[in-house]
């Protein structure tokens, strides 16, 4: 009975009584094929504009399609399709090509049912004999190491993996929205307010109009009545400050007075006591008393004060944009 070959790995299934003397060699070759399908690596140059079909052969560990990991290299000049055997199997594909063109992977004879592998992507594809799909979702683009439950890498090339629902709004410190987001222009030159209730907007003054310029502030104080009361300070008049004056007296006589014993002076004698009547003047000085002047009560009219000043609020700020998830 002649040998046959398995559909998927193309292993030689030896018939009973076949391959006498070579059975061991064929068995070892089958093991090499299994080894390639489990862990084999192929670097394939697919540069240019033509589609590429990976080679396959029965019981061949060197056939291109017998490798588990296939790295596609070269510079593309057009979109191409890489064909793998139309058998149930899975491959790790690394699109390491250059040129702004697309690489599709499809089962031989079924080019319409292909998976698109973005440049720089490392992804796992599965062939169902007539259709090729990515096991982690259509058009996945993973840069980094891949495990069954998570991705390890910077995520810069991820596509069609949406951590945010469409329409989600977020703030970004950049002028343009990132890829997959659309910049919103409804709000401009406004401050942010945190609320616990419904999100809304309001106000009439722009942010820079209030916080980034000198704001003129003016107004009028309330009317008030002022009452002033008190007295002037006390002051003692000096002799020179008094009006010029003297003091007089009448009915006295110096000639018919009583003379002192030494014969020099007379003691004046009143006229009604024998002396002639007359008027006499004596020098006088001020009394030296102090006095004060009451100021009374001074009442001011109602009045107000106006004021004008610049309020400087040149606050530092960082510009942000609002963007919505596409």
Question: pLDDT tens, 52-105?
Answer: 999 998 888 888 999 999 999 999 999 999 999 998 999 999 999 999 899 999
Q: Which residue has the higher pLDDT, 42 or 235?
A: 42
Q: Give tens-digit pLDDT for 242-265.
A: 777 766 655 554 444 455 566 555
- pLDDT in the model for residue 267: 55
Model pLDDT, residue 250: 56
Q: Which helix (H) or strand (E) holds 24?
A: helix 23-39
Tokens at 97, concatenated? 């090509």
Give the span between the Cα atoms of 302 and 305, in whole angstroms. 11
pTM over 0.75: no
Higher-pLDDT residue of 273, 304: 304
Helix (H, G, I), strand (E, B) or coil at 111: strand
Expressed in percent and rounded to 5, the helix, strand and coil fractions of the chain are 10, 40, 50
Domain ranges of the chain: 4-152
CA neighbours within 13 Å on the CB side: how many for 291? 8
pLDDT confidence of residue 64: 92
Q: What is the mean pLDDT of residues 31-54?
A: 90
Mean pLDDT of the residues in the chain: 77
Mean pLDDT of the region 216-222: 71
What was the pLDDT predicted at 84?
93
Query: Tens of pLDDT along 143-189?
Result: 444 443 455 555 566 666 667 888 899 999 999 999 888 999 988 98
Work out the percent of the chain whose per-residue pLDDT is above 70: 68
* Burial (Cβ within 10 Å: 0-12, 13-18, ≥19) of residue 257: middle
Here the contacts of 109-118 (C-beta below 8 Å, separation 24 or greater) are 110/86, 111/51, 111/81, 111/83, 114/81, 115/139, 117/72, 117/93, 118/157, 118/159
Identify which has the larger pLDDT, 177 or 217: 177
């Amino acid at each position: 009975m002649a040998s046959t070959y398995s559909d998927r790995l193309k292993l030689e299934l030896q018939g009973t009584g076949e391959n006498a003397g070579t059975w061991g060699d064929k068995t070892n070759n089958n093991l090499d094929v299994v080894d390639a399908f489990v862990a084999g690596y192929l670097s394939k140059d697919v540069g240019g504009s033509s589609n590429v079909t990976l080679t396959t052969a029965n019981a061949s560990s060197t056939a291109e399609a017998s490798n588990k990991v296939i790295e596609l290299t070269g510079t593309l000049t057009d979109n191409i399709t890489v064909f793998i055997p139309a058998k149930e199997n899975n491959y790790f594909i690394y699109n390491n090509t250059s040129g702004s063109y697309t690489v599709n992977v499809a089962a031989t004879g079924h080019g319409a049912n292909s998976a698109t592998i973005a440049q720089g992507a490392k992804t796992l594809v599965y062939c169902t004999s007539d259709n090729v799909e990515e096991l982690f979702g259509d058009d996945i683009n993973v840069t980094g190491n891949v495990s069954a439950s998570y991705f390890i890498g910077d995520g810069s090339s991820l596509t069609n993996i949406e951590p945010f629902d469409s329409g989600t709004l977020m703030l970004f410190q950049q002028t343009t929205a990132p890829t997959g987001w659309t910049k919103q222009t409804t709000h401009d030159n406004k401050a942010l307010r945190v609320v616990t209730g419904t999100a809304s907007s309001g106000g009439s003054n722009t942010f820079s109009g209030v916080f980034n310029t000198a704001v003129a502030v003016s107004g009028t104080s309330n009317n008030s009545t002022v009452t002033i009361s008190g007295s002037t300070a006390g002051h003692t008049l000096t002799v020179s400050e008094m009006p010029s004056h003297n003091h007089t007296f009448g009915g006295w006589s110096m000639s018919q007075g009583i003379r002192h014993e030494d014969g020099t002076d007379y003691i004046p004698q009143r006229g009604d006591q024998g002396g002639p009547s007359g008027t006499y003047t004596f020098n006088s000085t001020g009394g030296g008393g102090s006095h004060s002047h009451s100021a009374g009560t001074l009442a001011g009219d109602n009045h107000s004060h106006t004021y004008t000043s610049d309020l400087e609020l040149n606050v530092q700020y960082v510009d942000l944009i609002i963007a919505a998830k596409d």
